[in-house]
């Protein structure tokens, strides 16, 4: 267990704020009073108006077990993980006049088999709701309920395997995982894999250059019977209960696969099924052809009235002459 406590304080600059009234054309609607600062829309923006002082609490847990090692020559017992990164966090706002406690956030992962783990996360609210489904300054347990109200929860699992798992080769797995989690899509809150399609710019050729020895090796394997492939499967289900709706808000199964038919031909597919809305999720097909000093890519999203799109690109691989290219695309309809 790793407990942590932190304290944060933010000064208030209410003296730099002023008020103005927005009149209403409807006589039955009251005039709206708004606050503004003369520092708004400046380089550094307006300072915080209200004084804030809060404390945050977090607890990180990892539960493991030691079992008898089947290898009789081993000197140490075998260690297995039962619960990975089970984290609890909340905060207390000292300056608030009511509803001082924040929701208790929890995350965790339960390993099932190799490369397969059940991921859990959710939010617990200590306060009760009134008849209008609004939070009130009364603990839920004092209102005749349980200690916490389950506001939302999510459960998901991911499983992936490839041709390397069947030929006993694990070379490059760590590099591939590190590359997945270092891309821009993952940094901006997206998935590190291609279950929702390939988010890479079709004209971005950085990192695609092959060494000469790798090209020679690829040329020698034109008639090799090995066809590299990979397959990823993910399932996610989300529960919502913010205003007593008590419903499954999302429930979907997603998959993606890539296969190299030859050393220079690579195709991929990403799709899924939404059990909540009973329909196929965003589907993308990808085709890539390595032309040595040139590269050709084509991606197609065929399903969806507003999400259909396609991209075609052919250009020089080198960064110096990367402006010599032909790029044609049809974007998805952004109109509401």
Q: What's the mean pLDDT in 107-120?
A: 87
Confidence band for 3, pLDDT divided at 50, 70 and 90: very high
The pLDDT score that the predictor gives to residue 335 is 57
- Please answer whether residues 256 and 195 qualify as being in contact, where contact means their C-beta atoms are separated by less than 8 angstroms: yes
Among left, alpha and beta (phi > 0; psi -120 to 50; other), residue 99 is left
pLDDT tens digits for range 311-326: 898 988 777 887 888 8
Q: How many CA atoms, within 13 angstroms, populate the side-chain half-sphere of residue 138?
A: 12
The pLDDT score that the predictor gives to residue 126 is 95
In this prediction the pTM is 0.69
Where are the extended beta strands (E) located within the chain? 2-10, 17-22, 32-37, 52-67, 78-93, 104-113, 116-125, 127-129, 135-139, 149-162, 229-240, 247-262, 265-274, 279-280, 284-291, 294-301, 309-316, 325-330
**Whole-angstrom Cα distance, residue 335 to residue 150?**
36
Higher pLDDT, 46 or 225: 46
**Whole-angstrom Cα distance, residue 92 to residue 6?**
11
Q: What angle do CA 292, 295, 301 make, to 5 degrees?
A: 150
pLDDT tens digits for range 250-300: 999 999 999 988 888 899 999 999 999 898 888 889 999 988 888 899 999
H/E run at residue 175: helix 173-180
Higher pLDDT, 60 or 189: 60
Q: Is the dihedral of CA 178, 183, 188, 193 positive or negative?
A: negative
**Whole-angstrom Cα distance, residue 233 to residue 255?**
4
- What lies within 8 Å, CB to CB, of 307 at 6+ separation is 282, 301, 332
């Amino acid at each position: 267990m790793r407990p942590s406590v932190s304290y944060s304080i933010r000064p208030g600059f209410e003296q730099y704020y002023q008020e103005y009234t927005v009149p209403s054309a409807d006589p039955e609607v009251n005039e709206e009073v708004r606050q503004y600062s003369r520092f708004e829309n400046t380089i550094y923006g307006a300072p915080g108006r209200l004084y804030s002082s809060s404390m945050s609490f977090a607890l990180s847990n990892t539960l493991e077990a030691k079992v008898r090692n089947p290898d009789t020559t081993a000197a140490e017992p075998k260690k297995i993980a039962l619960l990975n990164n089970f984290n609890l966090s909340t905060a207390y706002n000292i300056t608030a006049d009511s509803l001082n406690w924040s929701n208790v956030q929890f995350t965790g992962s339960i390993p099932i088999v190799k490369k397969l783990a059940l991921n859990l996360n959710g939010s617990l609210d200590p306060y009760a709701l009134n008849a209008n489904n609004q939070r009130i300054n009364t603990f839920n347990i004092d209102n005749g309920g349980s200690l916490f109200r389950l506001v939302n929860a999510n459960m998901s699992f991911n499983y992936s395997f490839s041709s390397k798992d069947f030929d006993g080769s694990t070379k490059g797995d760590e590099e591939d995982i590190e590359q997945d989690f270092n891309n821009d899509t993952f940094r901006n809150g997206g998935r590190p894999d291609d279950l929702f399609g390939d988010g890479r710019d079709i004209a971005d050729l950085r990192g695609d250059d092959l060494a000469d020895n790798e090209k020679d090796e690829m040329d020698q394997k034109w008639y090799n019977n090995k066809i590299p492939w990979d397959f990823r499967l993910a399932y996610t289900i989300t529960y919502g209960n913010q205003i007593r709706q008590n419903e499954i808000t999302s429930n979907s199964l997603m998959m993606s696969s890539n296969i190299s038919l030859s050393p220079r031909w690579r195709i991929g597919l990403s799709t899924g099924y939404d059990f909540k809305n009973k329909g196929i999720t965003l589907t993308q097909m990808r085709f890539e052809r390595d032309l040595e000093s040139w590269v050709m890519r084509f991606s197609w999203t065929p399903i969806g009235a507003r999400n259909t799109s396609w991209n075609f690109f052919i250009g020089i691989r080198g960064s110096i002459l990367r402006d010599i290219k032909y790029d044609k695309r049809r974007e998805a309809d952004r109109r509401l």
